[in-house]
Structure 1
Amino acid sequence: MTLVQPPMMVHGGDHPARAMRLMIRDLARGRQGVAEAGDLKVRPLATPGPGVRVGDGSAIVHGARPWQGAYTQANIGDAIVEVLPTGPYARTDLLVLRIEDPEFEGDRDPRHEDVGYFHLIQGIDPRDTTAVREMTAIPLARITIPRNTAAITAEMISDLRRLANPRAERTLRTLHPKPGALAPAEHGRWTAWPKDATWTVEIPAWATKAAVVLTVTGLRIEGGSVYVEVRTVLGDHNGAPTVIDDDQGTSARRTTAVLADSFDVPAHYRGTRQQLTVQINQNDKYGHGNVSAAAGTAVVADVEFTESPI
C-alpha cells in the first residue's frame, strides 16, 4: 500500500509525521513563504550592532526532497541573529529560515534540538539565487556589509520574503451616468465629474497595494476643441491624469478615456472605507468645446487589492 494515511482523522491509527507534512503542503497549495505581509521581517537591532532581529510571524517551508512535504514555523517575539563583523573585505550574507529534519538532512535530534531555526549563510555571491536550493529553507533577507563594519543598519538589509499565498480581492463597478451633464470648464480646478461616478470602497485589512483601472467611454464632445485632464481619486490619493486632447472642430463626436493607477495602501487605509471618484480639469485656453455625459456614456471601475510583504 503506497497511500500515506490521513493524519488525526481516525481513532487508533499510527500516523507518520510525513502525513501531516503532506497535508500542510496540500493546504498551502504547493507554495511556501511567510503567512502574512508583516511576518518574519528582518530589521536592525534596536541599537545597531553585530546582529539583526527577526520579527513575529509564521511561515510555510517546503522540503527540498520529493514528497517530503511542508513544515510550519512560528516566531513569537524578536529573534536575535548574530552577524559577524567584516574585516578588510565587504561580505554578503543570506539569512534564511531553515528546517533540518533528520529524516532527510542533518543530524539534529528533535527531542533535544530545534529542527527549525534562523540560519545565516555567510559570504555568498551578491547575485546568488541558488544558495538554498538544496536546503529545506526560505530566504528572509540579504545583508550586504561593507568592509570593517560591525553594526548592521537598515540600508544593509534587503528584504527577500515572499508570501506563501498572497490574497487578492477584485471588484468591478459599472455606471451609466445621467445624460446631459456638461463637464465643468473652470481651468485649474479639479471637480468630481460625472457626479454619479462615486463609489464607497471597502479596503481589506490585509491589503498592501491597490490597482485601479477606470474607463469612461462614450463621452460626447461638441462645439469645438477640448483639452481635458481626467483622474481617479481614492481616499486622498490622486491618480496620474489622463489627457483628452481633441481638436477636430465643431462637429459632435465620441471619445473614451482610460485611467490607470497603482499605489501602496497606507496602513491607516487598511480595514476602512474610502471614496473612489472621477475628477476632471478642463483647460478652456485650448478650446471652447464641451465635454458631456450623454446617452450611451458608461463608466467602469476595476479595483484590485493585493497583498505583498511589508
Structure 2
Amino acid sequence: MTLVQPPMMVHGGNHPARAMRLMISSLARGRQGIAEAGDLKVRPLEAPGPGVRVGDGSALIHGARPWQGAYTQTNVGDAVVNVPPTGPFARTDLLVLRIEDPEFEGERDPRTQDIGYFHLIQDIGNKETPAPRGMTAIPLARITLPRNTAAVTAEMVTDLRRIANPRTERTLRTVHPQDTEKVPGKHGHWVAWPKEAAWDVDVPNWATKATIVITLSGLRAEAGSIYAELRTRLGERASRPTVVDDDGTTTRSAAVVLADTLTVPPDYRGTRQHLAVQINQLDKYGDGDLSVAKGTTVTADIEFTESPV
C-alpha cells in the first residue's frame, strides 16, 4: 500500500477523506467508544412512551473494514429514538450509534443524508451485545421490553457504553511512624488510626471511581488476643472493613491490607478530600493491644479512574 498523505498539513494538497479517518484512528490508538463519562447516555423519554432519548456527547467509531479508519460523531441536545411496542412476545433491542459510509457499506448520499445516526436493531435475542459483525457502530444500550408494552422505563434500559480512552491517575503515598501509637482506649467505635495514615487527596474532575489499597506492615500485637476491623475513608465515603483476628498471647507482628473501590460522588470531583485509615477494636473478643511503632510502614495506593455514568 502506498502512503496516504496526511490531511491539513500542507497547503494546496488534495486530501482524501480516508486520510482524516486514518489519522483519527491513530490518535484514538485503535480504541472506540464515547469520549467522556457522561456522553450519549440513553434514558427513557421524560414522559415514558414508545421511545428513548440519547443525551449530549461525542464518540469514536472504528470502521468495520481494514484500513477504513475511524469516525467522530457529536450529539448536541437529546436525540429521540423510536422503540416500537411489543405484542404478545417480549423483545430485546440493541441501540447503536452507526456510521453508514457509502464508500464501504449502504447507499446513503452524504450530500443529503446523515452518515452517522442512532440505529435500533430489533429483536437481538440472546446475541452478544457488540454491534453485528460488518456494521460500523458502537453499542449504547440494550432495551428489554416485556410483552404488550408500549412505554420504555428506566429498568428496561441496560447501559452498554464504553469510554474510548478512559483516564486514570495513580498516586503512591508512604509513611513510617516514629512513635509507638496504640489504638485509642475507647474501643467499640470507629476512630482514625494511626494518625500518620492520613492524606489530603486531589480528586480529578473526571474521576468516577477510586480504588484504594492501604497496606500496614509491621503492626505490633501484644498482651492478649485482638479482634479489630479496619477500613479506609475518603471524605464521607467508607470502604468495606478488613478484619484482624489474632488469638495469640505473646508479642506478634502482623501485616494488613485494606482494599476497596469507591464510587466518586459528583460533588467530590475537582475537590480535595481527606483520606484516612480507621479502626474499630472490639474488646468483647479480646483485650490485647494493637500498635504501630518504629518499623511500621503504611503504604497508600490510590487510583482514580473514569467510567460511564
Map Cα deviations across residues 86-132 of structure 1 (whole Å, 9 max, x no partner): 11111111111011111111111111111011111112113334652
3-state secondary structure, aligned to 1:24: helix
**What is the match of residue 12 of structure 1?**
12
**What is the match of residue 271 of structure 2?**
272
C-alpha distance in structure 1 between counterparts of 2:300 and 2:83, whole Å: 49
**What is the match of residue 299 of structure 1?**
298
**What is the match of residue 254 of structure 1?**
253
- Count of aligned pairs: 309
C-alpha distance in structure 2 between counterparts of 1:66 and 1:10, whole Å: 26
C-alpha distance in structure 1 between counterparts of 2:145 and 2:290, whole Å: 58
Check the 8 A contact 1:54/1:79 in 2, yes or no: yes
C-alpha distance in structure 2 between counterparts of 1:264 and 1:288, whole Å: 36
Map Cα deviations across residues 108-157 of structure 1 (whole Å, 9 max, x no partner): 11111110111111121133346522101111111111111111111111
Higher mean C-alpha deviation, range 63-72 or range 260-269: 260-269
Check the 8 A contact 1:98/1:137 in 2, yes or no: yes
Map Cα deviations across residues 150-195 of structure 1 (whole Å, 9 max, x no partner): 1111111111111101111111100012321111132211111111
- Map 1:180-199 to 2 at 5 A: 180-199=180-199
Check the 8 A contact 1:185/1:283 in 2, yes or no: no
**What is the match of residue 109 of structure 2?**
109
- Map 1:16-31 to 2 at 5 A: 16-31=16-31
3-state secondary structure, aligned to 1:218: strand
**What is the match of residue 207 of structure 1?**
207
Amino acid at match of 2:110: P
Residue identity over aligned pairs, in percent, reads 71
Map Cα deviations across residues 258-302 of structure 1 (whole Å, 9 max, x no partner): 111112111111111110001112222333321111111010001
Once the two structures are TM-superposed, the CA of residue 238 in structure 1 deviates from its matched residue by: 1.4
Higher mean C-alpha deviation, range 233-242 or range 128-137: 128-137
Map Cα deviations across residues 196-246 of structure 1 (whole Å, 9 max, x no partner): 111001111111111111001111122222222211111111111112122
Check the 8 A contact 1:145/1:152 in 2, yes or no: yes
3-state secondary structure, aligned to 1:278: strand
**What is the match of residue 83 of structure 2?**
83
**What is the match of residue 282 of structure 1?**
281
Could you tell me which runs of 5 or more consecutive residues in structure 2 were left unpaired when the two chains were aligned.
none
TM-score of the pair, normalised by structure 2: 0.97
Off by >4 Å, runs of 4+ in structure 1: none
What's the C-alpha RMSD, in Å, of the aligned pairs?
1.2
**What is the match of residue 178 of structure 1?**
178
- Map 1:221-232 to 2 at 5 A: 221-232=221-232
